[in-house]
Amino acid sequence: MRTIEDLDVAGKRVFVRADLNVPLDGESITDDGRIRASLPTIDKLRQRGARVVVGAHLGRPKGQVAPEFSLRPVARRLGELLGVEVGFATDTAGESARALSAGLSDGEVALVENLRFEPGETSKDDAERGEFADRLAQLADLYVGDGFGAVHRKHASVYDLPERLPHAAGGLVFTEVDVLRRLTQHPERPYAVVLGGAKVSDKLDVIANLLGTANRLIIGGGMAYTFLKAKGYEVGASLLETEQIDTVKEYLAQAERQGVEIVLPVDIIAAEKFAPDAEHAPVPVEAIPAERMGLDIGPATRELFATKLADTRTVFWNGPMGVFEMEAFSGGTRALAQALIDSRAFTVVGGGDSAAAVRALGFDENAFGHISTGGGASLEYLEGKTLPGIAALEK
């Protein structure tokens, strides 16, 4: 892939497809991690005299203008972090965006409205996507793809627009791909993958692919209960995907044949209900009460997982170990993050809820080898899939 160093950007309008899909509470941004991750590329272009037009999405407005998904609060925060005023277009590629783009001077930055307000952005129809990409292309002379969190989507601003303009990968995308190639091609071993989150069905493909590359799979979070059920344990009222039990049994057998160690919880925090003030206690996995649900890994499991990470040289982590948003059930995710920091491994936090947990629980992001901005994109890369946004940048 070409990088922004390969582009002559001075005096040129550069469309930067960023990932600014941040969580909002009204108009308040509760986690600006993705905006911060986009700063280096935007600022480097600005310093080199580019006229930067930033495009991004927020939420799933389904092709309709939805005020609660407006990027206006993001424009304000982006300006604060850059230390410059960031112009804001009230549409994506219409009159406001065209006027703002045409009026930029060297080094200035503008953000257009949520790209997903346009049906053509996410359309499965090539012609509809292409028509929107044509309009976006009128806003710029060059294209920089830097929204890693969206590169697994065949969307107009990700896939079709770089076909219409000279293009390059931004620093964020380049770094993400470099890290993921390190995980898939030549990981330093032992190589462990920690998977958590709610559903095993979300990670079936990545598990199948990792059985051929990882030395050890450590399973926590809600998805662990389907694994425990497949091993013959009763899991009470815990999250369970019964339709995936047979598939998980096959994976367990395949892992044994291939010498891949699968590490499951040995105890869990069992709660009487899904609530922050629920009465709860640690119980061994062979004694989960029928009326209780597991909302975190237990203290013995936290020690086990830390032991299994201590000798690793490479670790990829995607998905929290419990309901970390509730203080009572955050201990497992906190312990896992600390175990990653304490290990000697090159640690990659695979975006999404894992990255949010790192920040919410107060960890120094620099203590990890790399924190990805794209959970879904990271997983699909590890599944061995071709990511449309990366393929477009490689042309």
Token pair for 347: 């640690």
Residue 28 counted as an annotated binding residue: no
Catalytic residue among 120, 236, 376, 389: 376
**Active-site residue flag, 94:** no
User: In this structure, how many other beta carbons lie within 10 angstroms of the beta carbon of residue 80?
Assistant: 12
Residue 59 counted as an annotated binding residue: yes
Q: Which of 58, 57, 59, 16 has the alpha carbon at shortest distance from 39?
A: 16
Q: Which of 248, 285, 291 has the alpha carbon at shortest distance from 267?
A: 285
User: In this structure, how many other beta carbons lie within 10 angstroms of the beta carbon of residue 175?
Assistant: 17
Give the whole-angstrom CA distance, residue 154 versus residue 145: 13
Residue 60 counted as an annotated binding residue: yes
**Active-site residue flag, 33:** no
**Amino acid of residue 34:** R
| Residue 95 burial by Cβ neighbours in a 10 Å radius (0-12, 13-18, 19+) | exposed
Give the whole-angstrom CA distance, residue 30 versus residue 60: 18
Residue 186 counted as an annotated binding residue: no
Residue 146 counted as an annotated binding residue: no
**Beta-strand pair 142-145/280-284:** unpaired
Residue 57 counted as an annotated binding residue: yes
Residue 17 counted as an annotated binding residue: no
Give the whole-angstrom CA distance, residue 94 versus residue 97: 5
| Residue 268 burial by Cβ neighbours in a 10 Å radius (0-12, 13-18, 19+) | buried
Residue 79 counted as an annotated binding residue: no
Residue 195 counted as an annotated binding residue: no
Residue 19 counted as an annotated binding residue: yes
Sign of torsion, CA 318 319 324 328?
A: negative
Contact (Cβ atoms closer than 8 angstroms) between residue 388 and residue 159: yes
Catalytic residue among 352, 374, 375, 389: 352
Residue 58 counted as an annotated binding residue: yes
Residue 103 counted as an annotated binding residue: no
**Active-site residue flag, 376:** yes
Catalytic residue among 2, 164, 199, 249: 199
**Active-site residue flag, 34:** yes
**Beta-strand pair 293-297/267-271:** antiparallel
Residue 20 counted as an annotated binding residue: yes
In the chain, the largest separation of any two C-alpha atoms, in whole Å, equals 68
Catalytic residue among 12, 13, 17, 34: 34
Residues annotated within a binding site: 19-21, 34, 57-60, 116, 153, 203, 294, 325, 351-354
Residues annotated within a binding site for substrate: 19-21, 34, 57-60, 116, 153
Residues annotated within a binding site for ATP: 203, 294, 325, 351-354
Task: Point out the residues that are catalytic.
Answer: 34, 199, 352, 376
